[in-house]
Amino acid sequence: MAIKIGMASLGCPKNQVDGEMLLARLTAAGYELTPYEEQADVIIVNTCGFIEDAKQEAIDTILDLAQWKTQGNLKALIVTGCLSERYREQLETAIPEIDGVVGIGKNGDIVTIVEQALAGQTGGYYAEKTDLPLEGERVIINPPHYAYLKVAEGCNNQCAYCAIPAIRGEMRSRKMENVVAEAECLAARGVKELIVVAQDTTRYGEDLYGKPMLPQLLTRLCQIEGIEWIRILYAYPDRVTPELLSVMAKEEKIVKYLDLPIQHCNGDVLKRMNRPGNRQSLTRCIADLRDAVPDIQIRTTVMVGFPGETEEQFEELCEFVKEMNFPRLGCFAFSEEEGTPAAEMDGAVPMEVRLQRQEILMEQQSLSLMELTRQKVGTVQRVLIDEFDYDRNQFVGRTTADAPEIDCKVYVNAAQGTIGGFMQVRIVDTEDLDLIGNMIESECGQ
């Protein structure tokens, strides 16, 4: 009987891609995957270690899954991902239930590590960050009609609050022909939506080709038969070039959506964050986007409570967010991350003030988004169906304005449909920030 492997994948889509490559190596070695943790002989916790909340979630997950050593079949608990890379020895000593702590540079050795853990050999496994495999087969763990396409690893931006360069190293782009080949394979397996990810997608190719090559890559991806939607996450405002705008405007497969984290609008706060720009440059960038790609849906993230942020600077951010009328926005309260310049900065904002500012901004954004959502009632939307909700007896999907997991949903009344198919849907109502609609026509046969 094959040994069963389970995985809990936490954090961002980039980390998920790493986890999918781990699973592919293990299945190629003869292991069987299971979604049922109580049945697993080995569980891999693929962790995030970006901010305090993510670290706590990872630790809670590890401890929760460790119970299956006494209540289930679990023989080996392996921890991979950012938390393993960042807190190596601490994990080994603090949580004895862990049988293997795997730094990202050792992901390629996962089969051997699992074998050793099953044989009773425990410990840590580490190598250079640059040893992290960028190429390889994957086992897609989300619905099979969409897939994340990681085009680069690491980051060169050195934002003052961010631990990612220390965890993941400098940016390493994948060769364009490799990215395109993977996308072609994904399309052949039925993937309809490609979601392009990296720590900074707009810097893709700088290290290999001497200049950013995202526009050229997108042009090639748009030529792949079977791919219908291409979505771009993690773009930097100061690197949204006229060339990129031109490609986004011209290529129909690139959805009218861009994830554009701005973090703040005040020039002094951004300078302390070691990020370029100010309110004027951000306003210009967003105006250029909306001029070039009419009706584009911009998702952004902002950070409140950064060291030195005054009440006036926070109010300026609230005004800017309201003025820009972002259809999608997330807000983080600043978290001191060990080893980052921001953790040692003067002017710390009390945590209760950070959380209060976060709440104020998100309440403001919620009201704005509710109004934008109501404006869609009566419109016809093309919806990609992700699942069927048996409790509601409705299909659940997304429009081009919505990335999986992080944005809004559309609940569709339809007599029949296909997961991974498209529907033309007339929106008839809203539910909180989600949409409710009736199918007009199914495109599932395409």
Specify if 256 maps to a domain: yes
Same domain flag for 74 and 217: no
Same domain flag for 286 and 246: yes
Specify if 176 maps to a domain: yes
Last residue of a domain, one of 374, 398, 413: 374
Same domain flag for 388 and 333: no
CATH number of the domain within which 120 lies: 3.40.50.12160
Contact 17, 197 (CB under 8 A): yes
Same domain flag for 187 and 117: no
- List alpha helices for 174-325, DSSP H: 176-188, 206-209, 214-221, 242-250, 267-272, 279-292, 311-324
Last residue of a domain, one of 359, 374, 389: 374
Last residue of a domain, one of 327, 345, 374: 374
Same domain flag for 193 and 225: yes
Please tell me the predicted confidence (pLDDT) of residue 100.
93
* pLDDT mean values, one per 10 residues, the chain (446 residues): 91 93 96 93 89 82 88 91 88 88 95 94 92 96 96 95 93 98 97 97 97 98 98 96 97 97 98 97 97 96 98 98 95 93 96 98 94 95 97 97 95 94 97 95 67
What pTM does this model have?
A: 0.94
Roughly how many angstroms between the first and final C-alpha of the chain, as a whole number?
40
How many structural domains are present in the chain?
3
Same domain flag for 285 and 326: yes
Same domain flag for 220 and 253: yes
Same domain flag for 388 and 366: no
Strand-pairing partners, residue 258, are 232, 298
Cβ-Cβ contacts under 8 Å for 348 (sequence gap 6 or more): 307, 336
Please tell me the predicted confidence (pLDDT) of residue 333.
96
Same domain flag for 162 and 80: no
Tell me the C-alpha distance between 435 and 334, whole Å: 32
SS3 381: strand
Please tell me the predicted confidence (pLDDT) of residue 446.
45
Same domain flag for 205 and 127: no
Specify if 410 maps to a domain: yes
Contact 385, 396 (CB under 8 A): yes
Same domain flag for 61 and 92: yes
Strand-pairing partners, residue 385, are 397
Q: Which domain holds residue 33?
A: 4-131
Same domain flag for 169 and 125: no
Contact 9, 17 (CB under 8 A): no
Please tell me the predicted confidence (pLDDT) of residue 444.
55
Helix or strand run (H / E) with residue 24: helix 13-28
Contact 302, 317 (CB under 8 A): yes
